[in-house]
Amino acid sequence: MRERQRRGEGKKMKKPVVGVIGNSTMIENRFAVQMVGERNLRAVADVMGALPLVFAGAPDITDVDALLDVVDGVLLTGARANVHPTRFRCEPNAAHEPYDQNRDAVALTLIEVCVARGIPIFGICRGFQEMNVAYGGSLHPEIRELPGRMNHRMPRIASGEVHPDPTVVFADRHDVKLVPDGAFARLFGSDCIRVNSLHGQGILEPGARVVVEGVAEDGTIEAIRIADAPGFALGVQWHAEYDPQKNPINRALFEAFAAAIDARR
């Protein structure tokens, strides 16, 4: 009896496992790899105290049911590739490449399954956009081209290259107004926050179950939740993974994600 109790206590003390989706990438135009930005992994490890587990954003490798038997929550990260336009009833355009249709296939299925089962899921940038598309919403490939919108892409220098200083690239650039007493406002204890901005594509029309909870100064949607989700199902357009170790806004998001996982476990 005591031995069984000790084994049971050991299981309870195990670290939670957070699945982190990979992105299809070619290295040196020769080697196909699945890649994840290290800041995502460190956010999971440092702030959540969890084990980040990278899984392939490829449907012929990743079986969703098998994955969800292993992980306690899922992080859908940002990525360079856009969601393929055919996923929201638009025509593809070479100007808006690259695309990653393998990741689309995994992520869009995974979102619906996680929400239905109450498995905590957190979407960042592309992941946020995927959550919208999963519920029938649409995206615009260049939000800055819409009337009245600002340029949400990362800062560049005079030559047109991305600014070499990451502290400039990831600096807070605009406010986000939150729905009073909404999920995000309660989480942050404020109706207005300031965030970074590094995206071209963004939400055009929200999906059927997508509840808009945060909007930038120019009207760009920045924070969403999935209506009637039995578990944590939040998404943000900004890159919350960049500095949650010291940024109180981004830290609160990862801590809430961790708390949801612990509660479900």
Q: Are 237 and 199 in contact (CB under 8 A)?
A: yes
Supply the pTM of this predicted model: 0.91
Q: Would residue 174 show up in a list of annotated catalytic residues for this protein?
A: no
Task: Give the chain's radius of gyration (CA, Å).
Answer: 18
Q: Would residue 125 show up in a list of annotated catalytic residues for this protein?
A: yes
Helices in the chain by DSSP H: which ranges?
2-13, 38-48, 64-68, 101-117, 126-134, 166-169, 183-188, 248-264
What does DSSP assign to residue 97?
Answer: -
Per-residue model confidence as pLDDT tens for the chain (265 residues): 444 444 445 455 689 999 999 998 888 888 989 999 999 999 999 999 999 999 999 999 999 999 999 999 999 999 888 999 999 988 888 878 889 999 999 999 999 999 999 999 999 999 999 999 999 999 988 878 878 888 778 777 777 777 777 887 777 888 999 999 999 999 999 999 999 988 878 999 999 999 999 999 999 999 999 999 999 999 999 999 999 999 999 999 999 999 999 999 8
Q: Would residue 239 show up in a list of annotated catalytic residues for this protein?
A: yes
| Domains contained in the chain, CATH given | 15-141+199-264 (3.40.50.880)
Catalytic residue among 84, 96, 140, 239: 239
What does each C-alpha distance from 179 to 101, 220, 225 come to in angstroms?
Answer: 33, 14, 12
Catalytic residue among 96, 125, 152, 213: 125
* Angle at which helices 101-117 and 126-134 cross, to 10°: 70
Catalytic residue among 130, 213, 222, 241: 241
